[in-house]
Amino acid sequence: MIRIACLLYEGFELLDVAGPLAIFQVAGHQNKEGYVFETVAAARGPVRSMGGLELQAAASLRKARFDTLLIPGGLGARETQNTQALIPFVQRAAEEGRRIVCVSSAAFILAEAGLLKGQRVVMHWGAAPILADRYPGIDVDGAALFARNKNIWTSAGSLSGVDLALAIVEQDFGAAAAAKIAKALLVPFRRSAAQSQQTAASTDVRPDRFDEVMAWARQRLGEDLSLQRLADKAALSVRQFTRAFRLSTGESAAKYVERLRVERARALIESGASAFEEVARKCGFDNAERMRRAFVRTLGSTPRELRRLRKNRNRY
């Protein structure tokens, strides 16, 4: 189960919560392992959305337990007095390497928290100039649909929250799962993060040839998973394998494998007492040092930091 916490604040956009939630729910029906979805806010209780409807926050920040933090957009996100109380919380989540998913103007909160410096950040074309103006250190992209930097995702907003949720399902359960959900909900499944906001209208639904290979890889993370071996397994040349893989998933095969390994290792580290060396071997990093560097690359923190943070979890 992947735990998603949805962070509410005064003036959030309801659609940015409802759209992704619909996707995650269907994902739960179609996969044995799905998502659990919970709302959190500075305090438990009702939170007013932009349109006036209220949602109940089921947990306060200090009680929140999650793998992925979903932050809806909304005009409220631009008002720092609304979001000030959330800053340490999102900083903490980022430090811990949790996946943080911003729908459109939610990125204002991360920007305010200083988490987007020097990063490429996707924003709705209407709000992009404002973001760029207020936070000069950020590389704002007002044309793409979404982007990912390590564990932080940003997106253009509104219905692209749905695209973003599909991209997350794709990352977690493979492209075929995401395509299936899109089909069930009658929404287009757009693969390309780089697709223009202006032409976001195509219906690109491709069955995926790589799910089987990746499931196979998932079973044996401790073994050699070089491109050569994966390509052999898929009965393709290395060249064709890398090309087709990138085309269909938007990520290179090697990066994908590394991500699987880091995720598994992280789960092991967080769940218990195993020595880093042992975790590293089990997950296909030959030694702890290599694993450490892979963590820094993909999560932004070292295994040791994550374990330490884990211990202090209740102190926000």
Partner DNA sequence: AAAGACACCCGCCAGT
Partner DNA sequence: ATACTGGCGGGTGTCT
Residue with tokens 């390497």: 97
Total number of residues that touch DNA (CB under 7 A)? 23
Q: Per DSSP, what are the bridge partners of residue 148?
A: 153
Minimum Å gap between C-beta 169 and DNA is 22
Among 126, 129, 289, 310, binds DNA (CB under 7 A): 289
Q: Residue 263 phi/psi, 5° resolution?
A: -65, -45
Minimum distance from CB of 284 to DNA (Å)?
A: 11
Q: For residues 211-250, which are near DNA according to CB under 7 A?
A: 226-228, 236-240, 242-244, 246
Q: Would you say 274 or 287 has its CB closer to DNA?
A: 287
Closer residue to DNA in complex, CB, 33/289: 289
297 binds DNA, rule: CB under 7 A? yes
C-beta closer to DNA: residue 80 or 237: 237
> Contact between 290 and DNA (CB under 7 A)?
yes
Among 84, 196, 202, 287, binds DNA (CB under 7 A): 287
Which one among 90, 294, 299, 306 touches DNA, defined by CB under 7 A? 294
**Residues of this chain that bind DNA (CB under 7 A):** 226-228, 236-240, 242-244, 246, 252-255, 286-287, 289-290, 293-294, 297
